[in-house]
Chain A
Amino acid sequence: KNQVEQSPQSLIILEGKNCTLQCNYTVSPFSNLRWYKQDTGRGPVSLTIMTFSENTKSNGRYTATLDADTKQSSLHITASQLSDSASYICVVSDDYKLSFGAGTTVTVRA
């Protein structure tokens, strides 16, 4: 069964600090891994997408890494802002169907 596990479930950080979110998956076959940001009451918005051959990808202050051998990914948020408060969802694709992690809720406090 394809599974995507994220940790931590939630975290609180001070504005300006960095944080790293983790994602482990057992999806097979693997096509790509995406990180989404979902604000409360809104649909997910894509941050990054990585294929098997990509190790890292950045989108502004968001940097995602992928280790396809260990089936792990991380999302690093640099110099956090209040607007980064959201749920971050790791999604792994087997080329058609998406497997969703439960998400990490990030709260940035002033």
Chain B
Amino acid sequence: GAVVSQHPSRVICKSGTSVKIECRSLDFQATTMFWYRQFPKQSLMLMATSNEGSKATYEQGVEKDKFLINHASLTLSTLTVTSAHPEDSSFYICSAGRTVGFAYEQYFGPGTRLTVT
């Protein structure tokens, strides 16, 4: 149980275009989903926290108008990178959270490799 999927796994787009990445919790409902970005040889950096039915909370330094997050249902959150630039090329990972016993667990998706040419 607790499987999180992401689609697509890899995407290449041209500079100036927009790209949408989907994150789905397949076998549980997640009121909160998280979006991370990971550059080569670095750890995950939280970009934003997404709550179902409300606006996402962005971390300091993350442009909310560039990284649009929609959490329309308890099993789906989307990240849209608008007007992508080569510096947006990165590995984007989502996670879905739920309470298990007394702990709050986050389950990570397999990631999406974005390359902007």
Contacts and interface: CB of A to CB of B under 8 A. Distances in A.
Interface of A: 31-32, 36, 41-46, 49, 51, 89, 93, 95-98, 100-103, 105
Contact of B103 (A36, A49, A89): A49
Given A51-B103, A93-B104, A43 B109 contact: yes
Given A31-B104, A96-B104, 19 more contacts: A32-B103, A36-B108, A41-B111, A42-B110, A43-B4, A43-B93, A43-B95, A43-B108, A43-B109, A43-B111, A45-B108, A49-B105, A51-B102, A89-B44, A98-B106, A100-B43, A100-B44, A100-B45, A101-B43
Contacts, number: 42
Interface of B: 4, 6, 41-46, 91, 93, 95, 102-111, 113
B43 A89 contact: yes
Given A32-B103, A41-B91, A93-B104, A98 B46 contact: yes
Interface of B is mostly: strand
A80 to B, nearest CB: 21
Contacts of A102: 42-43
B108 to A, nearest CB: 4
A84 B91 CA distance: 21
Contacts of B106: 98
Nearest to B44: A100
Contacts of A31: 103-104
